[in-house]
Each structure stands twice: as C-alpha cells, then as structure tokens.
Chain A
Amino acid sequence: MTCENCCIELIGIEKSFGDQKVLRGVNLPIRRGFTTVIVGESGQGKSVLLKHILGLIAPDAGQVIVEGQDVTRLRGPELKKLRTRFGVLFQGAALFDSLTVFDNIALPLRERTRMPAAEVREKVRATLELLDLSGSEDKYPAQLSGGMKKRVGLARALQLNPEILLFDEPTTGLDPVRSHEVYQMFHETQQKLGYTSIIVSHDIPKIFNLADYIALLHEGVIQICATPEELQRCEKPLVRAFVERVMGKMYSSEIEDLELAAGL
C-alpha cells in the first residue's frame, strides 16, 4: 500500500460501458476517519466509482484496495466479509418497497445477527427516534417523502455499526432545510461513531463544510484530491474553472439561505 492511514485506495481504475469509456485510470486514496467528497458533473461516473469500491462492478483494469485487500480479486465469502465493514446509502435510498420502515431498518439485524427479536425492536426504535422517524415505522417506503426515505436509508446503513459509510447523493431532491438537516445528521453521527465516509454529491459548495477532502472527477480521472482550502488555491486551469463555477453557486446559495432565514 502506497498511502499510509488509508482504508481505501483506488489505483488506475478503468471502466467502459459498451463504447463509452467512463473511468480512464482513477487514482484515489481515502483516508481513515475522514470525510472524502467526490464531486463532478452528472454522468462522470461518480456512482460507478462507489460501486467499484463495494465490488458490485468489476473494473476493466486497476485495483481497489480496501484495508489491504484487493476487492477485484475477492470472491464469495471474503467479499461478503469485507462488505460487512460498509454501510451504504444509495441514491434512491434503495429501500425494500414491500417492507415497512420498521422491517427495512430491522432487516440487517435480523439477517446478519442473532439478536433476539425484543432487542432488535429496541434498537430499531432507538434509531428511529435518533433520526426523527418515530411514528412512521408502519409506513411503506412509497408513503414517505424523499427526505424521510434518505433518513430511513441512513438508519438502515447504521444498524451494523459500519466502519466506512458510502453516501450516493444524500441530498438530491431535498429542500435546503432538509438537506441541512441531513448534513447535520451526518456530522453528528460521524462525531459519535467515528466512521470513514465517502460522499458523492452535487450539492456544492454546501458539502464543502462537511468535507475533509474533496476529489474532483472529470473526464474519467480524479483531477485533484485535496482539502477544500487547497482546492481553492489550486492553479490547475481545470480545477480553477471548477472552483470559480462553484463560487458563483456559493454566492447564489448564500442568498438562498438569507431568504430562507428571513422566511421568504
């Protein structure tokens, strides 16, 4: 392993879908205990990158090293064991739509542990309360709003106390208040549980507050992976262009926040 204190390292990942080459040699270190945010335009392969980390997609070339093990070479039980370290919040939350909220959250506990039913109920109730979901345990995912779905997804991802949490666009489709709440929730749970998190997001620059490192994915390669401050100081034209665009957004977003604060 070339990077110390990294729990995940992507080395030269290449992936094509048909004729379209999505990833062209992605190198990315993910540092333990920190939050790394992967940003980039739509269709740049950010979600695909997450699926590589989980071993859901095999790369055409390159390695995905998770805790010293190459995910691309792992099979069956080893892969399963490795995945128990991950918690994932999918883009569309990927809740089981024929199960109630309660059963969705209880599923990992019921299937992966030998916890007695009463204890499962207790733990799920506690998580529901933590994430402000009490009272909706008997609802089905189709009856929930977008924000609630995300929270249920996070509740489910947290059940097995993962070391690494992957978030695929956690705030897409949420209003500013809700997305602020989601960030708050991430921050609090991370402080408490100390997991490493990888967030794929469009919600720049707000996500900058949460990020320890920001990786910019553009044209199939990571252009830069640095702290938000370093990113802003970077001289690379492509990165500069990105930062400038984002700063523009930051301006409008501040206005949005002010409007919100004024109750407009």
Chain B
Amino acid sequence: MIEWLENLGAKGLSILKEIGRAGVFLFWSVVGIFRPPFKIMPIIKQIHVIGATSFTVIFFTGAFVGMVLGLQGHYTLRMFGAEGALGSAVALSLVRELGPVLTGLMVTGRVGSSICAEVGIMRISEQIDALECMAIDPYRYLISPKVVASILSLPLLTAIFNIVGLMGGFLVGVRLLGGSEGAYLSTMKSSVMAADIRMCFIKSICFAILIVWICADRGYWVHKSRNGFGAEGVSRATTHAVVISSVAILVADYVITSLLL
C-alpha cells in the first residue's frame, strides 16, 4: 500500500516537474525572440518550413472539409426547408471552429513532428550541448525563430483554410446541388461577425504557440524522459509530442471558445 502511494507520489512529482520545465522552456523561448543578435533569415527559413510547405495540405483539407460541409449541410437543412442558410452554416462552422482547429491539427502532424524530431536528434547527438558550450543560447538560436514563424504562419494558413473551405462549400452546395447562389453569399456575409474572425485568429495564434512549445519541448528534453535514448527515444518523443499537442489544441479550443463566446 505504502509502495503504491510512493509510486503515485513519484509519478505526480515527475509530472509536476515536467510541467514546470515546459513552463521555463516557453519562457526562455519567448525571451529569446527579443535577444540580440536579431536575425531575419532563420525566421524566413522557418516560415518556409512551417508555413509555405504546409500550403498544399491545408488547401486540400480546407477544400474537402468545405465540400463535405456543403454536402451534409445541404441535405440536413433541406429537411427543415432551410437550404438558404447553408452559407451561414458553412461559414460559421469553418471560421469559428473547423478552420483554426483543423489547421492546427494538420500543422501539428506535418510540422510539429518534424520540429520534435529535429530538436530531439540535435539533443541526442550533443549538438545542443555544443551550442551551450559555444555560449550560444539554444533557445534563441533554435526555438525562438520557430515560435515567431509559427505565430506568423498559422493565422495565414487558417485564413487560407477558411477561404478554400467556403469555396468548397459553395462549389458543392450551390454549383453541384443547385442551391441559391445569392442566399449562400448573403447569409455567409450577414452571419459572420468581426468577433468570429477575431476568435478565429486568437485561436490560431494560441495553437501556433502550443504546437511549437509542446513539440520542441519534447524534443529538447528527450534525454530526460524515460528510455529517452537514441533513435527510439526520439521516435517515442515525436509520437508523444504529436498526441499531446493534438489533445492540447482540442482542449485549448474548448477553453478559448467558452471564454470568448
């Protein structure tokens, strides 16, 4: 019984320690943004990695999500004779929820895993130690450009997702299934408020920070985790990172929605 309690206590303490470490990690990564020397090239490179290369996947996800919303919405709304509200239904679900959340999840899968693996490999091959020995702040050099790039990229990717999704909904709901073009566009315009757009961007910025924070943190501290050695340690950390940040995005989505609605 005592042993069980001890194990529980030890587990609890180690989780607290990890959370504390992650908090310190985020703090230094953000502080690193404001530390000289300021370099623009690493940020541009990261924007390319996080933002530009995610365009295709975001485009197709957005298009098909919008199309399926158009399809489902059309048949569901028709049951109530409210096909005219399709524009409103598609736009609100995309802008408020699906746009930021799905963009966040896609970016986690595509970029979060690579961030974790990259940082993790640098850790196990002593490259981060080497940086520290050269008195180069690893947070400023490695993590901060990723944070900035992610904060800049994710809202833009979300915007692209929304626009493409709306066009997809239009394509299916109006062009394919013969809904009213005017009704789609006008309900879309009238139902989406500035507050919705604001919420969308607040969410995407929060998700941007969450993704880089969690994924880079798991990679950075891979050697501290249990069995965190070698390639297997990194692969395990990457899986954890993607799972944790995906769940974190969904939790954060709920929290932000409940605070802002």
Give the interface of A toward B (CB within 8 A).
51, 54, 56, 80-81, 83-84, 86-88, 90-92, 94-98, 107-108, 111-112, 114, 156, 160
A101 to chain B, nearest CB (A): 15
Q: How large is the interface on B (under 10, 10 to 19, 20 to 34, 35 or more residues)?
A: 10 to 19
Does residue B181 face the partner (Cβ distance < 8 Å to A)?
no
Q: A54-B132, A90-B129 are in contact. List 19 more A-B contacts (CB 8 A).
A: A56-B133, A80-B135, A81-B135, A83-B132, A83-B134, A88-B130, A88-B133, A90-B126, A94-B125, A94-B127, A95-B127, A97-B125, A97-B127, A107-B134, A108-B136, A111-B134, A111-B136, A111-B141, A112-B134
B126 touches A112 (CB 8 A): no
Measured CB to CB, the closest approach of chain A to B80, in angstroms, equals: 56
**CB of B37 closer than 8 Å to a CB of A:** yes
Docked Cα-Cα span, A156 to B134, in Å, equals 9
Cα distance A92–B127 when bound, in Å?
10
Is B97 interfacial (CB-CB < 8 Å)?
Answer: no
7 of the cross-chain contacts (CB-CB < 8 Å) are A56-B132, A88-B133, A90-B126, A94-B130, A96-B122, A97-B121, A108-B134
Closest A residue to B128 by CB, please name it: A94
The interface residues of chain B, by DSSP majority, are classed as helix
Distance (Å) between the CB of B52 and the closest chain A CB? 18
Residues of B near A156 (CB, < 8 A) are: 134
The answer to whether B137 has its CB under 8 Å from any CB of chain A is yes
Residues of A near B134 (CB, < 8 A) are 83, 88, 107-108, 111-112, 156, 160
| A94-B126, A111-B37 known; A86-B133 Cβ under 8 A | yes
Report B-chain residues with C-beta under 8 Å of the C-beta of A107. 134, 136
Within the complex, the shortest CB–CB distance from A125 to chain B, in Å, comes to 20
Q: Determine the distance from Cα of A95 to Cα of B132 in the docked complex, in whole angstroms.
A: 13
Q: Closest CB-CB distance, B228 to chain A, in whole Å?
A: 13
| A108 vs B122: C-alpha distance when bound (angstroms) | 17
What residues of chain A lie closer than 8 Å to B137, measured between beta carbons? 80
Q: How far is the CA of A107 from the CA of B131 in the complex (A)?
A: 9
Of the candidates A51, A90, A91, A114, the one having the most CB atoms from chain B within 10 angstroms of its own CB is A90
- Bound Cα distance A111, B35 (Å): 12
| Residues of chain B with a CB closer than 8 A to A87's CB | 133
The residues of B that contact A91 with a CB separation of less than 8 Å are 126
**B7 CB, nearest partner CB in chain A, Å:** 16
When each residue 120-163 of chain B gets 1 if its CB lies under 8 Å from chain A and 0 otherwise, what string results? 01100111011011111100010000000000000000000000
User: Residues of B contacting A94 with CB < 8 Å?
Assistant: 125-127, 129-130
Q: Which residues of A contact B37 (CB under 8 A)?
A: 111, 114
With the chains together, A82 CA to B137 CA distance in Å?
13
Query: Which A residues are CB-close (under 8 A) to B136?
Result: 107-108, 111-112
**Residue from B135, B137, B141 with most neighbouring chain A CB atoms (10 Å):** B135
Chain A residues whose CB sits within 8 angstroms of the CB of B125 once the complex forms: 92, 94, 97
Question: Residue on A with the closest CB to B130?
Answer: A94
Which residue among A86, A87, A94 has the maximum number of chain B CB atoms within 10 Å of its CB? A94
Distance in angstroms between the alpha carbons of A112 and B140 in the assembled complex: 12
Residues of B within 8 A of A92 (CB): 125-126
Inter-chain contacts of B122 with A (CB < 8 A): 96
Q: Which residues of A contact B127 (CB under 8 A)?
A: 94-97
Closest 4 CB pairs of A and B: A94-B126, A94-B130, A88-B133, A83-B135
Q: Would you give the 0/1 interface string for B32-44, flagging 1 where the beta carbon is closer than 8 Å to chain A?
A: 0000010000000
B37, B127, B137, most chain A CB atoms within 10 A: B127
A42 to B127, CA, bound (A): 22
Distance from B48 Cβ to chain A, minimum over Cβ atoms (Å):
14
